């Protein structure tokens, strides 16, 4: 589950632990898209549930011996995901390949004899991300309003991380991560 609140805060969890509120209670516009609701400015949040499992167990099923210039099926096995696409390269000089959504078999004729390497990756349309963990913000306890100071942010895990500093006057300053 992912819960959105205060227009920009996202919290994640494996179980839903609280009662629901009426939709009009969640009236805070999302910072990135004001046309969508991102919870409220109090304790309520919009909750979304991921409907499919994340990608896992990706492997390629290819015969041990393949005859050069003869069409051979290569089966790409993927567990989970939604709208999975598979792409990669084969080291026989034939270039890159990309399979359409939810197609798991590539019919390929090797272009040269010898040992080949198949490199492939699978991605899904959910644009998932790894939960952000281990956030430590280290700033001076006291600073004067005219004093320049430095804060250090440490994040031990996560993807698609965006950090903004609220200057206190409505100005949001994006930081490069």
Give the model confidence (pLDDT) of 116-136 as tens digits: 888 888 777 654 445 566 677
**CA nearest to 73, candidates 103, 41, 45:** 103
C-alpha 119 chain-centroid distance? 21
Task: Tell me if 118 sits within 8 A of 126, measured CB to CB.
Answer: no
Q: What residues have CB less than 8 Å from 119, skipping those under 6 apart? A: 88, 89, 91
Residue 126 buriedness (CB in 10 A; 0-12 / 13-18 / 19+) = middle
Task: Tell me if 38 sits within 8 A of 23, measured CB to CB.
Answer: no
Residue-wise burial string across 85-100, b where 16 or more C-beta atoms lie within 10 A, e elsewhere = bbebebebeeeeeebe
Q: Is the pTM of this model over 0.75?
A: no
Task: Tell me if 149 sits within 8 A of 140, measured CB to CB.
Answer: yes
Q: Which two tokens stand for residue 15?
A: 């179980």
Separation of alpha carbons 94 and 109, rounded Å: 9
Separation of alpha carbons 161 and 173, rounded Å: 14
pLDDT by position in tens, the chain (length 177): 677 777 777 777 766 666 666 666 778 887 777 887 778 877 777 776 655 566 667 788 888 888 888 888 888 888 777 777 888 888 888 888 888 877 888 898 988 888 888 888 877 765 444 556 667 777 788 888 788 888 777 776 665 666 777 777 778 777 766
Separation of alpha carbons 126 and 59, rounded Å: 20
């Amino acid at each position: 589950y992912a819960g959105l609140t205060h227009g920009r805060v996202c919290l994640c969890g494996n179980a839903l632990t609280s009662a629901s509120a009426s939709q009009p209670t969640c009236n805070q516009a999302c910072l990135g898209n004001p046309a969508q609701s991102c919870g409220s400015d109090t304790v309520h949040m919009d909750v979304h549930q991921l409907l499919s499992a994340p990608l896992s167990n990706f492997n390629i099923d290819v015969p041990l011996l393949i005859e050069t210039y003869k069409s051979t099926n290569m089966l790409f096995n993927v567990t989970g995901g939604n709208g999975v696409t598979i792409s990669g390269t084969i080291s026989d000089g034939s270039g890159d390949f990309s399979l359409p959504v939810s197609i798991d078999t590539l019919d390929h004729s090797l272009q040269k004899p010898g040992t080949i390497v198949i490199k492939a990756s699978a991605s899904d349309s959910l644009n998932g991300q790894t939960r952000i963990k281990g956030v430590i913000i280290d700033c001076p306890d006291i600073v004067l309003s005219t004093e320049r100071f430095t804060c250090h942010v440490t994040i031990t895990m996560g993807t698609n991380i965006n950090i903004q500093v609220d200057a206190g006057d409505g100005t949001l300053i994006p930081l490069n991560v």
